[in-house]
Amino acid sequence: MYALDAPHFTNPIAARRMMETIRWPHGPVCPRCGEAERRYATKKEGRWRCGNPDCAGDYTVTTGTVMESTHIGLHKWLMAFYMLSSSKKGSSSHQLHRTLGVTYKSAWFLSHRVREAMKSIGLAEPLGGEGRIVEADETYHGKVETPKPRSRGRIPKPTKKGRSGPADKRPILALVERHGRVRTFHVAAADKATVSKIVGENIARDSRLHTDESNLYPTIGKEFAAHETVKHSAGEYVRGDVHTNSAEGFFSIFKRGMRGIYQHCAEKHLHRYLAEYDFRYNHRVRLGIDDMERTIAAVRGAEGKRLTYRQPRSTEFPA
Ligand SMILES: [Zn+2]
């Protein structure tokens, strides 16, 4: 971490100006009607009145973002964006609470809203493409809140690594482009129908699909330029350029982070944490993105989320 004493991290006005530059590089735009030319300054600095007579609404840089109606200083928001963007495994609400000097409850809301901003939206284009490799792999993390009832005497199937059955765990599917982006999914069950649907919808058909020998993939695998597998059960992890090491690497960062920082993640919030890890992976240093650029990308993502996504509610606190 560096430059934590920079004005935008210590002064709410400097933070607001920075956010305005990020959101409005060509000057303020009304988030309600899109009016970019006509506006009036109000008595309150940073608050504009739309000059479109049909709209005439007031707005600030936080209107229509995850920060709308906030009572927390924008320098603290910016610091929260920075802390969650810059450390490899994330930052706990306790850490934010101590560093920002806000209550634990505020820190919790702040961090979930930053995660909301990090979530990718809309119809993302498929991963991979001609000549590219996409790895698909599943893992199990944490415990489900309401385990499925089992018929008496049935022994749960062990996970890939031989641990107790996946029936009580939360399955996560990751699709990872070799040297590229990741997309993860917390699924109700890692069964063939679910996995085939996600793989089919998210990977370009002219990609090479790499998986382990799991029986989840052969059917959907036929739809791709190639489906190549490594046989983990036989101790085979790499054959030529065929492997699932990128997916395993992603899972390993995720699991170490979740264990070390987010020990008490409720199942209903798991997708939010996944979005956070996806975001950092997709803006990682190896792709040429530094801490501040990653922070700015997250702040940009804050826009348009206010109305699109259900926000964490006070009844969900604490997680
Ligand atoms: Zn307007």
List per-residue pLDDT tens for the chain, 319 residues long.
Answer: 457 889 999 999 999 999 999 999 999 999 999 999 999 999 999 999 999 999 999 999 999 999 998 999 999 999 999 999 998 888 999 999 999 999 999 999 999 999 999 998 766 789 999 999 999 999 998 777 766 555 555 555 555 554 445 567 889 999 999 999 999 999 988 999 999 999 999 999 999 999 999 999 999 999 999 999 999 888 889 999 999 999 999 999 999 999 888 877 888 889 999 999 999 999 999 999 999 999 999 999 998 775 444 555 545 555 4
Distance CA 155, CA 150 (A): 9
Question: 17: CA distance to ligand 1 center in Å?
Answer: 20
Question: 302: CA distance to ligand 1 center in Å?
Answer: 19
Q: Calculate the alpha carbon distances from 29 to 39, 82, 306 in Å.
A: 9, 25, 17
Residues paired with 150 in a beta bridge: none
Question: 316: CA distance to ligand 1 center in Å?
Answer: 34
Q: What are phi and psi of 199, to 5 degrees?
A: -60, -45
Question: 121: CA distance to ligand 1 center in Å?
Answer: 24
Q: What's residue 12's pLDDT?
A: 96
Task: Let me know the angle formed at the C-alpha of 32 by 29 and 35, rounded to the nearest 5 degrees.
Answer: 40
Question: 240: CA distance to ligand 1 center in Å?
Answer: 57
| C-beta of residue 64 within 8 angstroms of C-beta of residue 307 | yes
Q: What's residue 260's pLDDT?
A: 85
Question: 32: CA distance to ligand 1 center in Å?
Answer: 5
Which is nearest to 49 in space by CA: 66, 64, 32, 65? 32
Q: At what angle do helices 104-118 and 270-282 cross, to 10 degrees?
A: 60
* Torsion over CA: 217, 218, 220, 221 (sign): positive
Which is nearest to 279 in space by CA: 295, 259, 256? 295
Q: What's residue 141's pLDDT?
A: 87
For strand 182-186 and strand 169-177, is the pairing parallel, antiparallel, or unpaired?
Answer: antiparallel
